[in-house]
Amino acid sequence: MIHLIVGNTGSGKTTYALKLKEETKGIIFSIDKWNKTLFLDDKKITDGLEWFLERIERSEEIIMDLIVQLEQSGADAILDLGFSKFEHREKFRKFAKVNGYTFKMHFLDISKETRLQRVLKRNTEKGETFEFEVSKNNFDFMENWFEKPTEKEMKGGMIIGE
């Protein structure tokens, strides 16, 4: 089973993924951790969104290879990849369908106000789910970047509210 954790910045995706891991004994793939570990030390101030998107794409190639191994061993893959865009979610749904894997969408539908409070708190406390600081500008950018899943996309999935 592949779990697609969908939510905007600060919605609690990583916290939810950790809870889901305990319930399923699955393996979490968190793109924030991958970005911090593999790429952020190399990022220049002039590197923008395209720089990140290219590295995310390369990371996802490896993640898909690992999902195949997990499926062969019967372990769940918990994808904490943000899934901000329909096209990104569709990429993994098609991957699952082509390979005969089951998948489930989990949408964390949390208000902007709550998410902003969480981000500011996480930036200050730097707790278990902190990987890097999210600026107010980055938070605001994601408000316009994020595409909320449609009702059709969520068929058979879970919507988690506040």
> Distance between CA 53 and CA 65 in Å, rounded?
19
The answer to whether domain 2-160 has CATH 3.40.50.300 is yes
What digits encode the pLDDT tens for the residues 95-111? 999 999 999 999 999 99
Predicted TM-score (pTM) of the model is 0.86
H or E stretch at 54: helix 49-73
Question: Do 132 and 36 contact (CB within 8 A), yes or no?
Answer: yes
Task: Count how many residues are written for the chain.
Answer: 162
What digits encode the pLDDT tens for the residues 1-12? 999 999 999 999
Q: What is the mean pLDDT of the chain?
A: 91
- Of 145, 159, 48, nearest in space to 104 by CA: 159
Question: Do 92 and 31 contact (CB within 8 A), yes or no?
Answer: no
